[in-house]
Amino acid sequence: MAIHPIEFRYGTPEMKKIWEEENKLQRMLDIESALAQAEGELGIIPKEVADEIASKANTKYVKLDRVKAIEAETNHDIAALSKGITEVCENGAGEYVHFGATSNDIVDSSNSLLIRDSIDVLEEKVEKLTKIMLDLAEENKMKVCIGRTHGQHALPTTYGMKFALWADELHRQYERLEHARANVCVAMMDGAVGTTAALGTDGWKIHKTVARILDLPAAKITNQVVQRDNHVEFISTLANIASTLDKIALEIRSLQRTEIMEVGEYFDPEKQVGSSTMPHKMNPITAERICGVARIVKSFVNAALDNNPLWHERDLTNSSCERIMFPESCILTDYILNLTIKLMNNLVFYDENIERNLNFTNGLIMAERLMAELTRAGMGKQTAYGIVRKNAIKANKEKLLLGELILEDEEVQKYLTEADVEKIMDPHTYTGSIEIIIDELLEDSKNWF
């Protein structure tokens, strides 16, 4: 019976496939195979023995049910894995399975393969979402809207700026994934305390040969485990990605509020239901789900940090945590990346509301421009600030148009004409360097992937 929502509600087939039991078993078998091949190359075990182990180290021969049955008796997963391979090897080759290795050589190296595979999937999604944002930035470069600071109307901006900002951040997340891959996806074959003692003087050669066979960098030094600061970086990167998706979804949710309603999720009126009791509701459920699941991903950072300090050379407190943390953080991050791609691909714009909100404050948002133009015309900046502030407060209190009120000020009349003020008060022309900023970003983005 399914219990966890990942089993039936959340996650994509491509990421779940990486972390399912059968594939995890295969990745551990891949490490045992690489160990045997390395030992065969260096003459530590007979070549024909190495070939036999390598040929049988796959789930065609080593069955998950059998390994689990052995583990139920031994209460040790890697001992069960080793016995499972031994049972299917012929001509005594099974006697050499797992020679010179300790359990975490298999666990950490196989986790490196699983994380590398996960990063491949995540990078593809981050790249896809980044390109969607870049397209939206170009399409909406000069779609002027109100910018908000502290939840208050501030100055005009454009939707192109929002999307370009998110594209730039997503590209940084892609680079963080690349950096995490380089640090966390390493191979090790170093024995009980990292000294390779069981393999003698050939131990370090075996360590590096296993890494080469697995196409992974060799860990520089271990003490039975790859140091967990690397895994902290990976989990923190996933949490960082989740925070970006949370930010994007939160903004869409806020902009879809009834009283704002500038952009929103696509809603299928023929099929979709917003509420079980309120027939009129069209809720931002995709964005809300992104925000909710992001909280779970972010919560794993503390667990990852706590896995770094272990007793002496190591203990087992990290193991149970990582059995949950690695698959869940990867599956859920991938899932909300998919949701965000869906959200942004189907975003709906309400242009009339964008324009309404831009003019909602009767010109108060142009106060900065008024002050700047008065200063350019010869009035002192501090004086200009005080005059505009006084008139802005009055316009706000009495619900007057700031442009009309400012023209009644005798001091202002010395510097600005009615035509000047009319031009100044147009929010569509107060966009600064937006076009240059976005164009430069779009040009730079051609070298991102």
What is the DSSP code (8-state) at residue 187?
B
Which amino acid is it at 192?
A: A
Which residue in 150, 276, 320, 433 is the catalytic one? 150
What is the DSSP code (8-state) at residue 428?
G
For 118, other C-beta atoms within 10 Å of its C-beta total 26
Which amino acid is it at 243?
A: S
The length of the chain is: 449
The answer to whether 160 and 141 are in contact (CB under 8 A) is yes
**E-strand stretches of 48-160:** 144-149, 152-158
List of residues 6+ apart from 29 with CB closer than 8 A: 57, 58, 59, 62, 81, 85
DSSP string for residues in 196-221? -GGGGGGHHHHHHHHHHHHT-PBPS-
Which residue in 98, 275, 299, 319 is the catalytic one? 275
Q: Is 443 helix (H, G, I), strand (E, B) or coil?
A: helix
Task: Tell me the β-bridge partners of 263.
Answer: 349
The answer to whether 445 and 438 are in contact (CB under 8 A) is no
> How many angstroms from the chain centroid is the CA of residue 207?
32
Tokens of 220: 């520089």
The answer to whether 422 and 366 are in contact (CB under 8 A) is no
The answer to whether 31 and 207 are in contact (CB under 8 A) is no
Burial class of 234 by CB neighbour count within 10 A (0 to 12, 13 to 18, 19+): buried
Q: What gap in Å lies between CA 326 and CA 43, rounded to an integer?
A: 36
Task: Tell me the β-bridge partners of 72.
Answer: none
Q: What gap in Å lies between CA 273 and CA 159, rounded to an integer?
A: 29
The answer to whether residue 150 is catalytic is yes
Among 95, 16, 10, smallest CA distance to 50 is for 95
Among 57, 32, 29, 42, smallest CA distance to 204 is for 42
Among 368, 54, 353, 340, smallest CA distance to 173 is for 340
Inter-CA distances, 177 with 21, 220, 333, 388, Å: 24, 20, 12, 48
What residues are labeled active site? 150, 275
